[in-house]
Amino acid sequence: MDAVREVRAPVVAGSFYPGSPDRLAADVDTMLAEAVAAAPPRGETIVRGVVTPHAGYIYSGPIAATAYAFLSTVPQPPPRIVIAGLSHFEPLKGLAVTGARAWRSPLGEVAIDGPGRAALVAAGAVVDDVVHRSEHSIEVQLPFLQRCFPGVPVLPVAVGSGSPLEAADVLAAALPDDAMLVVSTDLSHYRDATTARRLDARTAAAVEALDVSALGPDDACGAAPLRAAIAWARRNGYRIELLDLRSSADTAGDPSRVVGYGAFAITSTDR
């Protein structure tokens, strides 16, 4: 494996989030601290994962922090975190994992979980770093995970077109009860703030109802990984609950042309 395949370098550091390690750590910690103060109690639920947005931090960072503040309430770090994103730039059918041994952010390297990757490949995923080469949807999750769960290996998975039930089957191979799933998706795109609020509320209701059929391709840019996660949750008897629903109009954007962001918790009551 060559150096590019060995460690994937960040491609949106300095644009989607700060390229300076000190500034990045400070920004993430500040957003997490603000989100923790407003986070709902976890209660007796068992955290299986979260759904979180993937835009530039100035736009979606506070909503992502809501998801990670909830995720960090677990009593102990998971042994593996599977990050399911989409492929904005490369056509993809099915699921693709990275062949790298680590991914790097300005905060350092994050190890890729080898056994989880092998399990996904055995279940039908392919190894394809072209899909991951320029993709930001998974990369922007790394700094949050590095601050919340330092040292925990991750498994980046791009989810493309195909059956959400089949995608859920493949994802499940790397998601034993002690692992966690992070689903990376934004919601509506480039509507006015009022329209976006209405559309995203409808999408959030479909997600909470675990209704895959009610979630269309234009309701979320990461509809494929989100639909797979819903199918996985429904099959296992998990719940998906809304934590935060905002748009770029609420953070740093023009209210006439906004992107919607949602944070959701995936939980269960049975171990």
Q: Tokens for 256?
A: 């006439």
Q: pLDDT above 70 covers what percent of the chain?
A: 95
Superfamily holding 3-179+188-268: LigB-like (3.40.830.10)
Instruction: Provide the percentage of residues in the chain whose pLDDT is more than 90.
Output: 91
Identify the band that residue 205 occupies on the pLDDT scale cut at 50, 70 and 90: very high
Q: Which of 39-53, 108-122, 164-178 has the lowest mean pLDDT?
A: 39-53
Mean pLDDT of 157-177: 97
| pLDDT reading at 265 higher than 50 | yes
Look at residue 271 and tell me whether its pLDDT is greater than 90.
no
pLDDT at 45: 84
Task: Please determine, for residue 81, whether its predicted confidence score (pLDDT) is greater than 50.
Answer: yes
Stated pTM of the model = 0.95
Map residue 109 onto helix, strand or coil.
strand
Q: How confident is the model at residue 5 (pLDDT cuts 50, 70, 90)?
A: low
Q: Which of 111, 97, 106 is nearest to 150 (CA)?
A: 111
User: What is the model's pLDDT at position 41?
Assistant: 64
Question: Per-residue pLDDT averaged across 102-122, rounded?
Answer: 98
- What is the DSSP pairing of strand 189-191 with strand 258-268? antiparallel
Domain positions in the chain are 3-179+188-268
* Mean pLDDT of the region 225-246: 97
Residue the block writes with tokens 């199918």: 231
**pLDDT band per the 50, 70, 90 thresholds, residue 120:** very high
Residue 232's region, left for phi above 0, alpha for psi from -120 to 50, else beta, is alpha
Region 173-185: mean pLDDT is 97
Over residues 136-165, mean pLDDT: 97
For residue 4, the model assigns a pLDDT of 40
Provide the sign of the torsion angle of the four alpha carbons 239, 242, 243, 247, taken in this order.
Answer: positive
Compute CA distances 138 → 53, 210, 214, whole Å: 10, 23, 25
pLDDT tens digits, 19-77: 999 999 999 999 999 998 666 666 778 999 999 999 999 999 999 999 999 999 899 99
In the predicted model, is pLDDT for residue 1 greater than 70? no
Query: How many helices and strands (H and E) does the chain possess?
Result: 10, 12
| pLDDT at res. 70 | 93
Please state, rounded to an integer, the average pLDDT across all residues of the chain: 94
